[in-house]
Structure 1
């Protein structure tokens, strides 16, 4: 998830729109507006409603539709007036959007990272739950000041990127509480890869989609994405609802992201690879063997 240049961010550079891209921006904005209209039609709710509903249930539905439309319009205005481009490419974003569409725009979506593209994810999941987990409390305050409708919580990581090899090759193999057969997160103090102090809502929710695009993982002292990837795998294995858990890992061109995705999400579960994004479908533990892979 991308942050503005004046904040700590996950990538070395932000991408600005070039002057010759103005026409392309217009096309993109038109596409966003068209997308909002299509979503509105799909939800059987107009973007701008008039007249009183016929019954209380219709009134409730109308209120929900109005809130959805407001979120979509907010996203359109945000991206139409911003010069910062989301860090994921059009093709990469399309993979996640396709899965969201298949779930009817009502998924439980957990996103590691809060940034410039957060309004987009919330807007295209209008009837679902979208929650962002961010490492930097000040950055959460900055984003929510401008987008108070987003839902975000702060996460404390117990790892550093410089520890990635030791955590995988020594700690994971030698700590029983990290093992796949026993895998759990809440209160798991012994396994350093387990995110053991997340908000209770995270543990109580069956997540349909988990996106790992944070925390920072491009310098030795950064938390790295090892614990986020491991914890996403545990959530998928422990799913009780029917269906697989969709896990998306961005920046798989980097060694650690690729190494941990292969170790815990498994190449056999990889269904799509586009650009720097991998999409996995994780079966519940009942459908798996003894290990993660």
Structure 2
């Protein structure tokens, strides 16, 4: 009876070949995963080494550039300055400065402690020359023609130029000078903050930072004064004088040059 019962309870279990294949498939997936992981690790390791090498190379290049920059902080060689003056003074432009006019300004810029702050009233044929001579310094130009100033700045992005609206007229020269003499102790003081000035000859609508800079050299070569209603240079000369006297830091002196000082207005 036991035997029969055992036989009746016996179950036949057949292992389908698919189960064996499935086990092999799992092993293949595991092997593929390990392979991918190994490849990813190797790629990461190689990339890290290349990144380290690139960083080292970049640091070396930066050091080299820094070294070159340090060298470029020196002033222009005398031969370069003399060459620039030579060709500028022989330009075909009828409004150019002569060599004797260029040389004193160049000499002062050359002796100016770096970085030298140079303010120029007027965009002229010498604009690029002034920028070049004040090597590694700060050169700012002021001009009365906003359209020409914008055009010039677009043509030469390295030039820093601002436009200003003059309220003076050359024909009012005598009245303006008399007004300044009367107000010399009040609105037209030689030392003052021009940003808040009410003096008729004081320019108070320049960018704020222009009044905050201690200018080492100022050149008045504008605006134009060729006709009675032209602005004339009285306001530029007065403003340059106040900026020079109101200097608080930087080099001890401010050198002010006025071009065409013998002409009226």
Question: Which interval holds the TM-score relative to the shorter structure?
Answer: 0.5 to 0.7
Higher share of residues assigned helix:
2
Q: TM-score w.r.t. structure 2 length?
A: 0.65
Is the partner of 2:199 in helix, strand or coil?
coil
SS at match of 1:178: coil
The answer as to 2:187 corresponding to 1:177 is: yes
Partner of 1:250: 259
| CA distances 1:32-91 after superposition (whole Å, capped 9, x unpaired) | xxxxxxxxxxxxxxxxxxxx996745523535739x99xx8xx89x96xx7436621111
With over 3 angstroms needed to count, the CA separation of the structure-2 counterparts of 1:90 and 1:165, relative to structure 1, is same
* 1:191 maps onto 2:199 in alignment: yes
- The match for 1:150 is 159
Deviation at 1:106, TM superposition (A): 3.3
2:227 to 219, 222, 226: 219
Which residue pairs with 1:235 in the alignment? 243
Aligned counterpart for 2:119 among listed residues 110, 114, 119: 110
Deviation at 1:229, TM superposition (A): 0.6
* Runs of 4+ deviating beyond 6 Å: none
Query: How many pairs were matched up?
Result: 198
Q: How many Å separate the matches in 2 of 1:97 and 1:166?
A: 35
* Runs (5+) with no aligned partner, structure 1: 1-51, 257-293
Q: Indicate yes or no: 2:66 matched with 1:60.
A: yes
List gaps (5 residues or longer) in structure 2. 1-57
Distance change >3 Å, CA 255–CA 84, structure 1 → 2? closer
Please list the CA deviations of residues 117-173 of structure 1 after superposition, one character each: whole Å capped at 9, or x if unmatched: 111100111110000001001111232233221110111112111111101113541
User: How far, CA to CA, are the matches of 1:107 and 1:201 in structure 2?
Assistant: 16
Residue correspondence of structure 1 range 4-43 to structure 2 within 5 A: none
**What's the TM-score once normalised by structure 1's chain length?**
0.60
